[in-house]
Structure 1
Amino acid sequence: MEKSGKLLVVDDNEDVLFALHALLSSYLEKVKVTTDPEQIPRFINDFQPDVILLDMNFQKEVASGKEGFYWLDTILQIDRQMAVLLMTAYADTDKAVQAIKSGAIDFIPKPWEKDKLLATIHSALKLRKSQKEVALLRQQVQTINNGNSREIIGESEEMRKIYGIIGKLADTDANILLMGENGTGKDLIARTIHNHSRRAGEAFVTIDLGSIAESLFESELFGYEKGAFTDARKEKQGRIEIASGGTLFLDEIANLSAPMQAKLLTTIEKRYISRLGSVKNIPIDVRFIAATNADLYQSVEDGTFRRDLLYRMNTIEIQLPPLREREGDISLLADHFLKRYAAKYKKEIRGLSPDARKKLEDYPWPGNVRELQNVIERAVVLSSSKTLTGDDLMLTVKESRKAKDSENLNLERVEQETIEKALQRSKGNMNRAAELLGISRFALYRKINRK
């Protein structure tokens, strides 16, 4: 047995302790012994043993084993993962079964057989080591997730329905389609679904299909081999391959070209990919979550999106509500963002005035949560008071949902209104809206994100 690990032996018989210390010191890194079980908490804290070899019978009720089970429970309350081996001269099957059910790793009868004792301790040490590694990995994953995650804020009836759906998806690998206006938090919902799934400890990979050139779709999704094209100086994994075992979030999936739609459909059905420049099939295990602000059903009717791909992606379809329809959530989100940015910019701003809250509630929020976040951040940066007022929010009366239309010669506002009309006329189809405006789809995205 490899000389590693720390062992604590607890027995009221000093001869037994002497014999075990003499035997086991040659096989373990450190061995500590004690006749007093009251010292167990101190040894766990100071010595930090990997394995505890615990006698079942001390001074009273010699043959019952009750003291052993009592101290086993005490140990596991201190450290739920501690590897405990129970030991007694009064061994029987019932005690052995009860020991394992109570949380012991194994049951050792006295007198012990040397080889069996060493093998049992060795197995307990291996188990303890693997438990520590798993705990460390979980901690690292949790740290990564906490660093990359944001909290979903919302108590409205609409958001409660979303939470209910997320809960039902926890034990499934069903593909999901998230639909909703820009700024409704589709990316946040996608990450939350991943974090509550069986794949939570694996990769969550995102690709924004609206922000990359169409010519790069294939190499980004599927990767490439060295020499596949002029600039391919070394092989590269695609996003799908990187996400294997975890989740791939395809944002703005409506922008996927027809050839890439076909290739993605094949990937979903066959569960393998091949890199550019390769004929080798690479198996993948990916959960797909897609998102769009376009009406994919209309896109199917228009012939710009494959019907079969839509039905592969929308096993579960979630429609995210716009902020204006989330009753009560506007003030809740505003308070959340105010607290965040007051801390970030070291401002002593305690809250929102009543007129500020009314102004927030009256505004239609075409940019949804993202726009609200930007409005609160800007107000915090520019404010010199301890309470944000309606004037600090820089939302004009004309922008209110109660305002009347009037002539507007502001060039930026006219452009925004024209874009909104194009999106309404195209029913959210970004390709069609870009054609109506006479600009490229990517130029349209830049203008929308600039608003």
Structure 2
Amino acid sequence: MQRGSGRRTRLETRLNALSTPVFALDASRTILFFNQGCEQLLEWSAEEILGQTCDFAIDTDMEECESVCNLLCPPAEVFQGTRLEVPRFLLSRSGKTIPCLIRYTPLTDEQRKTKLVLGFIERIQNPQALPSASASQQLHAELAAMRLSLRNRFRFSTLIARSPGMQRVLRQLELAIRTTQPVHFQGEAGTGKEHLARAIHFESEQRRKIFIPLNCEKLPPRELKQTVKKIFERDYDESIPLEPGVLFLAEIQSLPRDVQEMILENLQAKAANVHVRLMTSSPIPLQNLLDQEAILSEFFYFITTMEIQVPALRERREDLELLAQHFLENENRYQQKQVSGFAPGVLSLFQDYYWPANLDELTRVIQGAFEATAEPVITRDALPLRFKTGVDARSLGPAVLAPLRTLEESLGLVEKEQILLALELSRNNRTEAARMLGLTRAKLYRRMEALHISLDET
């Protein structure tokens, strides 16, 4: 026993001394080995990494060891005994982006159950160009590249923005970070307006203050007014050590005019020591609200300092697959079950769908599919019934129009139908049928002859 133990110790020592990055984790995704090569590449010590559990999800916070652990996590197929070469973008502690290829080797017992997974890291030029990677693995690498790029360029690592519309939004967000002026978001329900407002707040100098979201449509007017008043008068629970930094008012088309006046009075008062930044959102253009007198003209001009148009999901198809992968990996966090991607054909269904509820609907579809699947990827069978019904409804196409007839033909058909109905109701009594139709018996005969109606038809 002692001799065998010594050999294992020597093997571990040799593996640990390798410059090739090697790591190992068990079936519960707990990291058990992290050699010197990994330490040098990722700039994290083994003592900090060992014992950490990783999830198949992308994080880009270089100051959290959870980020590096999650970027090392194997796809779910590996734990089912499949060897894989997976492209990845890793993140070092100093913030360097490292393109690499990770070779995962599952080690199984006599029942072919995976007990350990070995990972070997190789630096490469472009993970996204590897032909050996599956579509879902490429999407995972592309999502990592996107988030790391946004973190480096715009500081918004939680946003997905490849489409031109969202690139425009990112540039506006970057400007909004540098000021404390009001910001208004206009876009359909479910497009993520509050998330964008939070992104501005948590990247601004007011990040240590509280972000307060209020929905003007859902809150009763009296409660809404009292809440806004307390915020400006700082009449809130003193157990909260932080002061308000942003007041975010959603659905301002339902904001009472007296509350608008109160907000203006507090934010425009020169002597007032108020440092609350106002952000608002609505699904209706502000000019329409002004025309309808839903908002005061003074309030309109105050909140239009910066307007950001948020595109609907159907207007940002370039982002759709990355968003789906992003929401799926969010479901993996802190879960025993891990799902690595989507089966062939699923993402094409997403592209063909209209998404009337935008990002909110995509999130619900992903959540439902994650809960329903027992596979390492999301299949068509796991998709919620409501979504599949919506896809089928759109695939039916428009209703087929009735063939166009001449006016004379149409009138003849209606007349024939009415004569046959009168004969049926009168049991072929032509005198009674003529009376019901407001005709003489002779005229009824002439019309029946002209329309080729015989008593055999009735």
Q: Greater Rg, structure 1 or structure 2?
A: 2
**TM-score, normalising length: structure 1:** 0.49
**TM-score, normalising length: structure 2:** 0.48
